């Protein structure tokens, strides 16, 4: 008689103090021209920053593979210093464009910057045991809303994250989630924003 299969042990998540800013190196957004998927990255001619906090000040470029739109962002200056972007929410921190990865979940909006961000959230949400190894002051996981951390919502949130993962592979304007609406859709001037190839209208 064969032995009963051993049930899998609890999934353990170790939080070493990951900050949200660490996922801003690549942000999928709604293109300001065609409404398809565009990509926001640091300007390719710049060296990689030594510290991830520098990502908040690093000049950015928005590019759309669908329509060819290109835009540039640079941090504002205040006196001798720079004013960095502030991550968080359903718009990207630089151009203030709606994030491409958004979906309705548990009566709220679930969002992420890119596939790596989705995977990190899924690893945390799917864990039955969560261990913190760093101060929660700025840590991303400690600052997640209670509904995302609730065991009762686990399957619902994981399903929402699977939807975001699927959206990351899509790029046409018609593929856009109904949650990624424009909120007035004309982006505010933010930093030094130069758009080449046509106006936002």
How many domains are there within the chain?
1
Domain of 151, in residue numbers: 19-194
Q: Please give the structure tokens belonging to residue 61.
A: 């470029």
Report pLDDT digits (tens) over 152-177: 999 999 999 999 999 999 999 999 99
Instruction: Note the pTM of the prediction, 2 decimals.
Output: 0.81
**Domain annotation covers residue 201:** no
**Domain annotation covers residue 119:** yes
Report pLDDT digits (tens) over 97-124: 999 999 999 999 999 999 999 999 999 9
Q: Please give the structure tokens belonging to residue 9.
A: 């042990």
**Domain annotation covers residue 14:** no
**Domain annotation covers residue 10:** no
**Domain annotation covers residue 30:** yes
**Domain annotation covers residue 25:** yes
Whole-angstrom Cα distance, residue 84 to residue 133? 27
């Amino acid at each position: 008689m064969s032995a009963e299969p051993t049930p899998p042990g609890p999934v353990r998540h170790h939080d070493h103090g990951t900050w949200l800013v660490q996922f801003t190196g690549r942000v999928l957004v709604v293109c300001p021209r065609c409404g398809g998927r565009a990509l926001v990255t640091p300007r390719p001619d710049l060296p990689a920053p030594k510290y991830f906090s520098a990502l908040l000040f690093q000049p950015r470029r928005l590019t759309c593979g669908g329509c060819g739109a290109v835009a540039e962002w640079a941090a504002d200056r205040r006196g001798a210093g720079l004013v960095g972007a502030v991550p968080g929410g359903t718009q990207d921190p630089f151009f203030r464009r709606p994030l491409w990865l958004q979906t309705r979940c548990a009566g709220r909006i679930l969002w992420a910057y890119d596939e790596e961000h989705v995977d990190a959230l899924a690893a945390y949400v799917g864990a039955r045991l969560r261990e913190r190894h760093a101060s929660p002051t700025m840590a991303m996981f400690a600052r997640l809303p209670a509904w995302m951390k609730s065991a009762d919502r686990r399957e619902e949130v994981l399903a929402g994250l699977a939807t975001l993962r699927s959206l990351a592979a899509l790029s046409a304007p018609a593929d856009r989630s109904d949650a990624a609406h424009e909120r007035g859709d004309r982006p505010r001037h933010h930093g030094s924003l130069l758009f080449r190839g046509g106006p936002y209208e």
